């Protein structure tokens, strides 16, 4: 009976103490919400890419990729302004045959997503150009073969001229282009910046929040045990 009476007294004191109830129920709920924010930040990565002097085909290939939005700018100054305003996550600029990529790099996952998206779009664009060049070459060769067949019915002189013309055209169509050079630039950090650099500020706030409640709970328990506040009142 005495044990039941003590248990009832402790439970009544617990339910009347709003601070203890808050530490037991409200604080863990807030901590779990913070943990949810931390571990769900990288569930989906949507990136905005600014392009300057880039072909419409490459813009189309970039825009067709999932979670990638393309914004075309006339000058690099406008694109840099958008990057500073955090409207876009990266800039793709074409200089001749080469490309210059500038990343904000505030989120390493977005930087990785932009690199992968640009690589896939560039590959798809190169394949399309090769298909077009192959189609044009095939059409040219078919026309030359038709002219050669017609020339074979005529004298040997025209045949020689057509053959020379075929030899002159074929190297132009079969000429291959070298792969473009891609140069990467980073506004914050470098290529070795990882996901922990983004998580560090969040973890600092989380641990400060957590230990404040922990220390407050220990101080509250010590005060309830010693009864200092009761004696002061």
Half-sphere exposure of residue 83: CA atoms within 13 angstroms, side-chain side: 26
pTM of the entire structure?
0.57
Tell me the per-residue pLDDT of 24-46, one tens digit each, with 9 for 90 and over: 778 778 877 877 776 665 566 78
Residue 169 binned pLDDT confidence (cut-offs 50, 70, 90): very low
Q: Which of 125-129, 131-135, 162-166 has the lowest mean pLDDT?
A: 162-166
What is the signed CA dihedral for 215, 217, 222, 224, rounded to 10 degrees? 160
Q: Looking at residue 168, what is its pLDDT?
A: 47
Average pLDDT estimate for 127-152 = 84
Residue 160 binned pLDDT confidence (cut-offs 50, 70, 90): very low
b/e per residue 44-78 (b: at least 16 CB within 10 A): ebebbbbbbebeeebbebbbebeebebbebeebee
Q: Looking at residue 174, what is its pLDDT?
A: 42
Distance of CA 104 to the CA centre of its chain: 10
Phi, psi of 202 (to 5 degrees): -65, -45
Neighbours of 81 (CB within 10 A): 14
What's the mean per-residue pLDDT of the chain? 79
Unique residue bearing structure tokens 């079969």: 174
pLDDT for 133 beyond 60: yes
With left for phi above 0 and alpha for psi between -120 and 50, is residue 96 left, alpha or beta?
left
Tell me the per-residue pLDDT of 98-115, one tens digit each, with 9 for 90 and over: 899 999 888 888 888 899
Q: Which of 74-78, 147-151, 172-176, 195-199 has the lowest mean pLDDT?
A: 172-176
């Amino acid at each position: 009976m005495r044990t039941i009476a003590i248990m009832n007294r402790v439970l009544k004191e617990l339910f009347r103490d709003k601070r203890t109830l808050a530490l037991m129920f409200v604080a863990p709920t807030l901590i779990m919400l913070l943990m949810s924010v931390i571990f769900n930040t990288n569930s989906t990565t949507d990136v905005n890419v600014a392009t300057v002097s880039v072909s419409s085909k490459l813009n189309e290939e970039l825009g067709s990729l999932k979670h990638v939005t393309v914004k075309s700018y006339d000058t690099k100054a406008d694109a840099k302004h958008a990057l500073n305003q955090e409207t876009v996550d990266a800039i793709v600029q074409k200089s001749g045959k080469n490309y210059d990529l500038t990343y904000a790099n505030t989120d390493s996952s977005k930087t990785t997503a932009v690199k992968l998206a640009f690589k896939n779009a560039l590959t798809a664009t190169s394949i399309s150009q090769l298909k077009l060049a192959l189609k044009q070459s095939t059409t040219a060769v078919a026309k030359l073969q038709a002219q050669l067949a017609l020339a074979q019915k005529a004298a040997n002189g025209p045949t020689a001229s057509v053959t020379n013309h075929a030899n002159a055209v074929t190297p132009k169509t079969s000429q291959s282009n070298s792969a473009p050079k891609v140069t990467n630039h980073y506004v914050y950090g470098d290529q070795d910046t990882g996901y922990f650099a983004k998580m560090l500020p969040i973890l600092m706030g989380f641990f400060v929040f957590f230990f404040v409640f922990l220390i407050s709970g220990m101080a509250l328990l010590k005060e309830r045990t010693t009864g200092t506040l009761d004696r002061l009142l």
